[in-house]
């Protein structure tokens, strides 16, 4: 049995590396994206094999699902602005401008340095040591939640998580600034079968996303995973044109973008004082505060990722026909 | 009795794996998009159903069976929708290139 598991792990590791190489070297951009998505799925499986279901969920939902959708949307946009959206010749799209060799080598050097640094850190770490497991286990009663990963992310190392939320906020701000003047590629009409699929899966995705958020306090899950799954609701709504972004919604969207960061930082600062430092939640309210932060951060993540998929600030262009529910 | 259930479960999973292999061979060997989709969506759909059934037989609670059924249902719906979208797109491409839409 152990041999079968080892064989499977070796095959998995080999496939992940092969897919990474193939995704980087293949000429066709669409094929590269598909290979990247498969690479992400197998990476998620690798995380499961490493007994890290939290990372696996994040990899599957964000690294594969949302990133894959963002890449495909970008390809669609590139084909539109280069005039290659015509069905026939759209399949073998080459980059608009070739990337200078210096940039490629600089990127390769940076990636190599990061890999080398990680390898050195890994090899330099104490082998088979106790790690931080005992420290975390000791502090668990004070964390307010029952799942060690959530306790670390939202309590012990909450500052790091706040920075991750800020990164997402910065990304959407940059996109809304840069893309202001670009013309919008029309979304393809996906037909009735797709509409039916969207209607069938929408409620299920809402339930799964909320469940992941709620379950995060005691089991793998949490704000990022739940937010990414809920972002899929936004993607379905945008693709089905059930929801069409309009300029009037910009104010609401901006509030939704900053909601998570604002609430997270606000709570962190408000609990400080009276002998406590920032992020030091009072023990009797820790659970409620963590749930409040996670809930609001989830909303922000979902709206931000959906806005990134839409790709530009909604402007007063003649909007296509569509029902507008919100 | 548990031995019999284990045996049936293993047989169902093996049969499902055979269908997956058949679907993959079809994907690799068939000449055009439509034939490949035909192999992939149908064979893999059946393969997944057999494997899900095989796992459900060994499940310890009704909740597990229900979750396996849900997974099967959503994968089946998603793969059917995906297959339809790919086929529609391939047909449009063929028409744009002036080929005969099959």
Nearest to A88 among B78, B84, B96 (CB): B96
What pLDDT score was predicted for residue A46? Answer: 93
Indicate the length of chain B as a whole number. 102
Closest Cα in chain A, distance from residue B73 (Å):
11
Residue A175 within any structural domain of the chain: yes
Q: H helices of A2-93, where?
A: 2-25, 29-49, 53-58, 67-81
What pLDDT score was predicted for residue A321? Answer: 45
- Please report which confidence band the pLDDT of residue A326 belongs to, taking 50, 70 and 90 as the band edges: very low
- Distance CA(A203)–CA(A131), nearest Å, equals 41
Q: Determine, for residues B77 and A200 on separate chains, whether the beta-carbon distance falls below 8 Å.
A: yes
- Please report which confidence band the pLDDT of residue B60 belongs to, taking 50, 70 and 90 as the band edges: confident
What pLDDT score was predicted for residue A16? Answer: 94
Domain that holds residue A266: 142-318
Q: Write the DSSP assignment of B58-89 as a string of letters.
A: T-SSHHHHHHHHHHHHHHHHHHHHHHHHHHHH
Closest Cα in chain A, distance from residue B100 (Å):
14
Our measurement of the distance from residue A26's CA atom to the centroid of its chain's CA atoms, rounded to an integer in Å, reads 24
Give the residue from A8, A76, A87 with the most B CB atoms within 10 Å of its CB, the best one to mutate.
A87
Our measurement of the distance from residue B8's CA atom to the centroid of its chain's CA atoms, rounded to an integer in Å, reads 20
What pLDDT score was predicted for residue A221? Answer: 76
- Give the CA diameter of chain A: 68
pLDDT at A127 over 90: no
Selected residue with higher pLDDT from B21 and A177: B21
- Cβ atoms of B3 and B71 within 8 Å: the answer is no
pLDDT at A181 over 70: no
Residues of B in contact with A194 (CB under 8 A): 81, 84-85
Q: Is A273 helix (H, G, I), strand (E, B) or coil?
A: strand
- Please report which confidence band the pLDDT of residue A295 belongs to, taking 50, 70 and 90 as the band edges: confident
Q: Is A70 helix (H, G, I), strand (E, B) or coil?
A: helix
What pLDDT score was predicted for residue B89? Answer: 82
What pLDDT score was predicted for residue B42? Answer: 84
Tally of CA atoms within 13 A in the half-sphere of A124 that contains its CB: 6
pLDDT at A219 over 80: no
Within 80-99 of A, beta carbons closer than 8 Å to B belong to 86-88, 91
- Please report which confidence band the pLDDT of residue A319 belongs to, taking 50, 70 and 90 as the band edges: very low
Closest Cα in chain B, distance from residue A111 (Å):
34
What pLDDT score was predicted for residue A160? Answer: 84
- Distance CA(A320)–CA(A312), nearest Å, equals 16
| Poorest-pLDDT segment among A132-136, A162-166, A210-214 | A132-136
Residue A109 within any structural domain of the chain: no
Closest Cα in chain A, distance from residue B66 (Å):
14
Residues of A in contact with B37 (CB under 8 A): none
- Distance CA(A313)–CA(A21), nearest Å, equals 35
Arithmetic mean of pLDDT, A263-291: 78
Residue A150 within any structural domain of the chain: yes
Residue A82 within any structural domain of the chain: no
Give the residue from B93, B94, B101 with the most A CB atoms within 10 Å of its CB, the best one to mutate.
B93
Residues of B in contact with A187 (CB under 8 A): none
Our measurement of the distance from residue A122's CA atom to the centroid of its chain's CA atoms, rounded to an integer in Å, reads 25
Residue in A closest to B92 by C-alpha:
A87
* Average pLDDT across chain B, whole number: 85
For tokens 């379905």, the residue is: A236
Arithmetic mean of pLDDT, A5-34: 91
Best CA proximity match to A21, nearest among A102, A108, A133: A108
* Average pLDDT across chain A, whole number: 81
Arithmetic mean of pLDDT, A46-50: 91
Domain count, chain A: 1
A95 Cβ contact list (under 8 Å, min separation 6):
A29
- Please report which confidence band the pLDDT of residue A320 belongs to, taking 50, 70 and 90 as the band edges: very low
Within 73-92 of B, beta carbons closer than 8 Å to A belong to 74, 77-78, 81, 84-85, 88-89, 92
Residue A136 within any structural domain of the chain: no
Model pTM score: 0.79
Residues of B in contact with A190 (CB under 8 A): 85
Beta bridge partners of A273: A276
- Distance CA(A145)–CA(A288), nearest Å, equals 10
């Amino acid at each position: 049995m152990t041999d079968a598991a080892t064989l499977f792990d070796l095959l998995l590791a080999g496939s992940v590396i092969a897919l990474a190489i193939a995704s980087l070297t293949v000429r066709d951009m669409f094929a590269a994206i598909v290979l990247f998505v498969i690479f992400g799925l197998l990476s998620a499986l690798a995380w499961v094999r490493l007994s890290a279901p939290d990372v696996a969920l994040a990899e599957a939902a964000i690294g594969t699902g949302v990133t894959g959708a963002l890449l495909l949307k970008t390809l669609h946009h590139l084909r539109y602005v280069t005039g290659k959206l015509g069905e026939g010749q759209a399949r073998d799209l080459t980059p608009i401008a070739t990337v200078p060799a210096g940039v490629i080598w600089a990127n390769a050097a940076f990636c190599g340095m990061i890999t080398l640094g990680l390898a050195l850190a890994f090899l330099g770490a104490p082998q088979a040591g106790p790690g931080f497991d005992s420290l975390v286990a000791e502090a668990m009663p004070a964390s307010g939640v029952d799942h060690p990963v959530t306790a670390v992310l939202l309590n012990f190392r909450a500052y790091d998580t706040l920075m991750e939320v800020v990164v997402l906020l910065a990304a959407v701000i940059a996109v809304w600034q840069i893309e202001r003047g670009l013309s919008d590629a029309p979304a393809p009409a996906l037909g009735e079968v797709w509409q039916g699929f969207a209607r069938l899966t929408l409620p299920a995705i809402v339930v799964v996303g909320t469940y992941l958020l709620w379950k995060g306090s005691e089991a793998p899950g949490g704000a990022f995973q739940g937010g990414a799954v809920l972002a899929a609701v936004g993607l379905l709504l945008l693709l089905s044109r059930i929801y069409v972004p309009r300029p009037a919604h910009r104010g609401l969207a901006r509030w939704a973008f900053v909601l998570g960061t604002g609430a997270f930082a606000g709570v962190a600062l408000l609990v400080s004082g009276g002998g406590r430092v920032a992020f030091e939640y009072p023990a009797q309210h820790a659970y409620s505060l963590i749930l409040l932060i996670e809930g609001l951060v989830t909303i922000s993540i979902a709206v931000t990722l959906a806005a990134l998929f839409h790709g530009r600030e909604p402007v007063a262009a003649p909007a296509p026909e569509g029902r507008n529910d919100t | 009795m548990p031995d019999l259930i284990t045996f049936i479960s293993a047989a169902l999973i093996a049969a499902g794996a055979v269908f997956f292999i058949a679907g993959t061979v079809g994907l690799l060997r068939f000449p055009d998009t439509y034939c490949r989709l035909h192999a992939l969506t149908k064979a893999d759909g059946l393969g997944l159903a057999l494997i899900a059934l095989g796992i459900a037989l060994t499940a310890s609670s009704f909740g597990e069976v229900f979750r396996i059924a849900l997974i099967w249902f959503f994968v089946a719906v998603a793969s059917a929708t995906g297959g339809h979208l790919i086929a529609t797109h391939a047909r449009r491409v063929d028409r744009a290139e002036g080929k005969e839409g099959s």
